Amino acid sequence: MAGPMRIRSHARLASFGFAACLLAAVTLASAAAFAAEAVVLRVGDQKGGNRALLEIAGLAKDLPYRIEWSEFPAAAPILEALNAGALDVGYTGDLSFLTAYAAGAPIKAIGGTRSDARTQAILVREDSPIRSAADLKGKRLAGTRGGWGQFLISATLEKAGIKPEDATFAPLNPVDAKVALMAGSVDAWAVWEPYVSFATLKDRARPIADGTGLTPTITFIVASDSAIATKRAAVQDLLDRLNRARLWSLDHIAAYARTTAGLTRLPEDVLFSAYTAQRTSPIVIDAAVVQEVQEASDRATRYGILSKRLDVGPALDRSFTAAASN
pLDDT reading at 177 higher than 60: yes
**Please, what are the domains in the chain?**
2-116+217-325 (3.40.190.10), 117-210 (3.40.190.10)
For residue 16, what pLDDT is reported?
54
Mean pLDDT, residues 199-209 taken together: 97
3-state secondary structure of 109: strand
Q: What local confidence, expressed as pLDDT, does residue 326 receive?
A: 64
Residues across the chain: 326
More confident residue, 174 or 30: 174
pTM: 0.85
Q: What is the pLDDT of residues 48-89, one digit of tens each?
A: 999 999 999 999 999 999 999 999 998 899 999 999 999 999
- Cα–Cα distances in angstroms (integers) from residue 195 to residues 123, 215, 281, in the given order: 10, 17, 19
Residue 166 CB neighbours (<10 A): 12
Strands in 218-224's sheet, in edge-to-edge order, are: 66-71, 40-45, 89-93, 218-224, 107-114, 281-282
Segment 95-131, tens digit of pLDDT: 999 999 999 999 999 999 999 999 999 999 999 999 9
